[in-house]
């Protein structure tokens, strides 16, 4: 790999070389969805099956990786919180290097590449260096979690808008517009929010959102290990700690969480017994 990275560094200037076009590789930025392989798009499956090299994040499920062809080189790019196997800049360079070696590269990203996945940065880098790329959208974890936990993201009775935010700190704090997020009649979905949930709760409550507002945490959404807790904004932190919820998880805040009582159907074993649909792979 080191050799390939060097190759990119040397090639930083005229990346559009005079090689014939057919020799050049391509990078597919593929949304791998939240875990259940059956949530992949048809195009994602096709790109995965034709991959020569796959560069994947830790959120990509084993079930999705198992669709890669034999002989496909696999490169783990990490991206767990605080444990990046490869820094973003190295990933960017690696993608360029692999494509410039003439490979069909599949860059697998959890959920949708353009939702908190740094897919935009990778696409920018590829564009800057003249590498052909395609973005294949995926089911973002908010959509997967909503469907599998029975929590609609909008509903005519209680939520006319939904906002996706990241709880990831930048410059030491969550840079969220609490005044806007605390307004009633909307749903808030927090990605990467477990570590900063107390700070976010305080911000929302300080701007007028009631501590009795329903809230949910969905861990490992759409996988056989999915866990869901429903509570209130006020109780949220204590429940997360008591029940040891950990990443990957989403927090949903809003009246829509109440609908889970009526809409929760996801029980893989029951579903399988009742319908004959096979249980989800991990």
Q: Which is nearer to ligand SAH, 14 or 82 (CB)?
A: 82
Q: Which is nearer to ligand SAH, 8 or 95 (CB)?
A: 95
Min CB(27)–ligand SAH separation in Å: 17
Q: What's the min distance (Å) between Cβ of 228 and ligand SAH?
A: 10
Least separation in angstroms between CB 70 and ligand SAH? 26
Compare residues 97 and 146 and give the one whose CB is closer to ligand SAH.
Answer: 146
Task: Please say which residue, 79 or 100, places its beta carbon nearer to ligand SAH.
Answer: 79
262 is catalytic: no
Tell me which residue has its CB nearest to ligand SAH: 111
The catalytic position among 4, 18, 36, 57 is: 57
Q: CB of 160: closest distance to ligand SAH in angstroms?
A: 23
Per-residue H/E/C for the chain: CHHHHHHHHHCCCCCCCCCCHHHCCEEEEEECECCCHHHCCHHHHHHHHCCCEEEEECCCCHHHHCCCCCCCEEEEEECECCECCCCHHHHHHHHHHHHHCCCEEEEEECECCCCCCCHHHHHHHHHHCCCEEEEECCCCHHHHHHHHHCCCCCECCCECEEEEEECCCECCECCCCHHHHCCCCEEEEEECCHHHHHHHHHHHHHCCCCCCCEEEEEECCCCCCCEEEEEECCCHHHHHHHCCCCCCEEEEECHHHHHHHHHCCCCHHHHHHHHCCCCCCC
Would you call 36 a catalytic residue per the annotation? no
Where along the sequence are the contacts to ligand SAH (CB under 6 A)?
Answer: 34-35, 59, 109-112, 115-117, 140-141, 145, 191-192, 218, 220-222, 247-250
Q: 79, 93, 109, 112: which is the annotated catalytic residue? A: 79
Residues designated catalytic: 57, 79
């Amino acid at each position: 790999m080191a050799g390939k990275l060097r190759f990119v560094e040397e090639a930083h200037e005229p990346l559009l070389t005079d090689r014939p076009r057919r020799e050049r590789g391509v990078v597919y930025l593929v949304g791998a969805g939240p875990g259940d392989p059956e949530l992949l798009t048809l195009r994602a499956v096709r790109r995965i099956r034709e991959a020569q090299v796959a560069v994947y994040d830790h959120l990509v499920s084993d079930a999705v990786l198992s669709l890669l062809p034999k002989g496909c080189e696999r490169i783990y790019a990490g991206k767990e919180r605080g444990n990046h196997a490869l820094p973003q800049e190295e990933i960017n360079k690696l993608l360029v290097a692999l494509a410039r070696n003439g490979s069909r590269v599949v860059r697998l990203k959890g959920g949708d590449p353009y939702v908190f996945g740094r897919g935009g940065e990778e696409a920018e880098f590829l564009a800057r260096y003249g590498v052909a790329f395609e973005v294949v959208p995926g089911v973002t974890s908010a959509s997967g979690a909503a469907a599998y936990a029975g929590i609609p993201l909008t509903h005519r009775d209680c939520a006319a808008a939904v906002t996706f935010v990241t709880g990831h700190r930048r410059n030491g704090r969550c840079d969220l517009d609490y005044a806007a997020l605390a307004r009633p009649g909307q749903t808030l979905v927090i990605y990467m929010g477990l570590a900063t949930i107390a700070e976010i709760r305080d911000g929302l409550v300080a701007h007028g959102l009631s501590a009795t507002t329903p809230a949910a945490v969905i861990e490992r959404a759409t996988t056989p290990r999915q866990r869901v807790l429903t509570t209130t904004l006020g109780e949220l932190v204590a429940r997360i700690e008591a029940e040891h919820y950990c990443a990957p998880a989403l927090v949903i805040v809003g009246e829509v969480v109440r609908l889970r009582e009526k809409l929760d159907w996801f029980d893989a074993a029951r579903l399988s017994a009742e319908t004959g649909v096979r249980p989800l792979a991990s």
